[in-house]
Structure 1
């Protein structure tokens, strides 16, 4: 007898949508227990529900025997239904498994993380708000703890995110999958924001990871406004404190003031002022002098302004370019402040020496021929690609340490790659190409094969 009374559970009502019910009759035995009977073979099951009958019709090994009279199409549909159920169960298990970033549901272990309400381990720089975190009594106890204890237990242990440190219980539960997800999340941020990969070499990256790991999954990153205003202001204050600590060194042992004149990519004429002391180099400021006449008087005014900010008595050495205007300005500065001595910039001196050498007739001749070879190679993709396949090849055009050093570095590179260049112009692929038959190509071939060059 089929029962469909009001006493059926909600779960049973939802189960009526299953395709198995079309091949099953529901009834009750003499003891009042619900039964399911197969319409094809007459198999009766007590308990296990519709899923057990689905296994019976699908013919799979399980808690019930297979039905030998079920049609093939019904058996196939039951097996597909079991596969769908298995996929859904697996997805549900994976979702439950990954509901935390540690690969499995992880509870807070005693001793693994510091107690948030503990005054003993709270960082000394955190101020407690009475209305939100505790009473005035807690704040007083914290202040007393800070006065009596300058270090905490954490000061005796290495950070848990660096190599060689003792792993925590939480990190031990983080398997390879959790580590991979953390790494991928890290990488996606770099790829989405187009951040250069060498940013991972920053000395501030590991402290960032340590700070986030110490807080845990509750940490929320600062928003745009905080980075642009509040945190930037705090970072500026930190730099100011660092400079103030340098100023004490300047007064005690003296310092060197350096004025570096240069031209940027926008053809602006700039002068950078830096201060050197045994503790390190400090950048002071950069002055744009593109729209002023850099005579001795103007330079003296700029030099004196920086010297007064540092303290003339703290400056024992002044380094600048070797131009006549710089020499005149430093002479007037030394007369006004006798404690300041001057020396020329070594890089600028080398630059001037190389400039004089580059103006010699035979160097001009060599540089012009080397320039023809370099331009011919780099103007044709086929040639530079052929050379780059050679073992030990280094680019001919490379920036030099100084402006005029680039010419000599290029000529030295051509001399070192003499055999590579000669092998290129004698290679069959080049000889048969249109490059070797052009007038420019013939001229370059003569230069490369010239032993005197």
Structure 2
């Protein structure tokens, strides 16, 4: 490219960043639209499901992704900034109507959204206009709500606190983490997050699987002779790991949420 530019000689004006970016983006958009059009004929032949994935990022921006599923595969079609949309049921419904008409009313068999009250109300309005479209909430959101309710139970929240204490101690001590990672079949512990209830139970399951490794470590000479053993937080860690009641409760909860 540089050789070609220098061959032109003085006076050549290079394209700006914005001109190059715009051209590339335009070409990519054309390619994307062609891809969507190739899927459209399959939507007509087999019918399709519209999947609406609404979420909020760390800066509290409300975004909605629209995807279309058919036996041919899943196609991402559109993403919008929906800060003002999700608050109004009618506005949200109009957005659904617009997308359904884009896909083709006779092509859409099924609509999947989350289980929030505004989405359910918007779907009810949509169903009045298009009675042939069946709606259902997406399973992940329903399961998340179920696990959230289970997590509010006193004994489960106590377990979750203990799991969090174990996880923090393990990952804040390089010596301990390096020792555990050398154990056969070691899996990294998923760190519990307040906004994703399932991660608490997944972390609980992984901790339960590492019971013998953790108990072996807290009784090992390597740990007892190390400076980590004299850490104040180590006392809490050891008490949890050698507590049989903690492990019995872990077994019960892991079996309950396994399905």
8 Å CA contact retained: 2:56, 2:63 = yes
Using structure 1 for the length normalisation, give the TM-score.
0.47
Residue 294 of structure 1 is aligned with which of 84, 87, 94? 87
Unaligned regions of 5+ residues in structure 2, if any?
1-14, 247-259
Partner Cα separation in structure 2 for residue 329 and residue 322 of structure 1: 11
Q: Is 1:442 aligned to 2:250, yes or no?
A: no
Question: Equivalent residue for 2:4?
Answer: none
Unaligned regions of 5+ residues in structure 1, if any?
1-222
Tell me the secondary structure at the aligned position of residue 212 of structure 2.
helix
Question: Equivalent residue for 2:171?
Answer: 378
**How far 1:413 sits from its partner (Å)?**
1.0
Q: Is 1:264 aligned to 2:57, yes or no?
A: yes
What does the per-residue CA deviation read over 1:282-334, in whole Å, with 9 as the maximum and x for residues that have no partner? 21211222355523223112111211222222211111111111111101100
**How far 1:229 sits from its partner (Å)?**
5.4
Aligned length: 230
Moved more, 371-380 or 261-270: 261-270
State how 1:107-186 maps to structure 2 within 5 Å: none
**How far 1:265 sits from its partner (Å)?**
4.5
8 Å CA contact retained: 2:52, 2:112 = yes
Question: Equivalent residue for 1:283?
Answer: 76
| Structure exhibiting the larger radius of gyration computed from Cα positions | 1
Partner Cα separation in structure 1 for residue 32 and residue 208 of structure 2: 48
Using structure 2 for the length normalisation, give the TM-score.
0.80
**How far 1:407 sits from its partner (Å)?**
0.4
**How far 1:279 sits from its partner (Å)?**
2.1
Question: Equivalent residue for 2:8?
Answer: none
Residue 348 of structure 1 is aligned with which of 141, 145, 152? 141
Residue 41 of structure 2 is aligned with which of 238, 248, 255? 248
**How far 1:237 sits from its partner (Å)?**
2.2
Point out which structure has higher relative CO (alpha carbons under 8 A, 6+ apart).
2
State how 1:94-105 maps to structure 2 within 5 Å: none
**How far 1:375 sits from its partner (Å)?**
0.8
Tell me the secondary structure at the aligned position of residue 30 of structure 2.
helix
Tell me the secondary structure at the aligned position of residue 184 of structure 2.
coil
8 Å CA contact retained: 2:192, 2:203 = no
Q: Which of the pair is proportionally richer in helix?
A: 2
Partner Cα separation in structure 2 for residue 231 and residue 375 of structure 1: 45
**How far 1:238 sits from its partner (Å)?**
2.7
Residue 237 of structure 1 is aligned with which of 30, 38, 43? 30
Partner Cα separation in structure 2 for residue 335 and residue 327 of structure 1: 13
What does the per-residue CA deviation read over 1:49-101, in whole Å, with 9 as the maximum and x for residues that have no partner? xxxxxxxxxxxxxxxxxxxxxxxxxxxxxxxxxxxxxxxxxxxxxxxxxxxxx
**How far 1:366 sits from its partner (Å)?**
0.7
Tell me the secondary structure at the aligned position of residue 452 of structure 1.
helix
Partner Cα separation in structure 1 for residue 226 and residue 33 of structure 2: 63
**How far 1:418 sits from its partner (Å)?**
0.9
Question: Equivalent residue for 1:425?
Answer: 218
Question: Equivalent residue for 2:203?
Answer: 410
Cα RMSD of the aligned pairs, angstroms, is: 2.5
8 Å CA contact retained: 2:36, 2:77 = no
Q: Is 1:366 aligned to 2:174, yes or no?
A: no
Which of structure 1's runs of 4+ aligned residues deviate more than 4 A?
223-232
Partner Cα separation in structure 2 for residue 229 and residue 439 of structure 1: 58
Tell me the secondary structure at the aligned position of residue 64 of structure 2.
strand
Partner Cα separation in structure 2 for residue 414 and residue 446 of structure 1: 15
What does the per-residue CA deviation read over 1:352-406, in whole Å, with 9 as the maximum and x for residues that have no partner? 1111111111111111111111111111112111211222211112689x92211
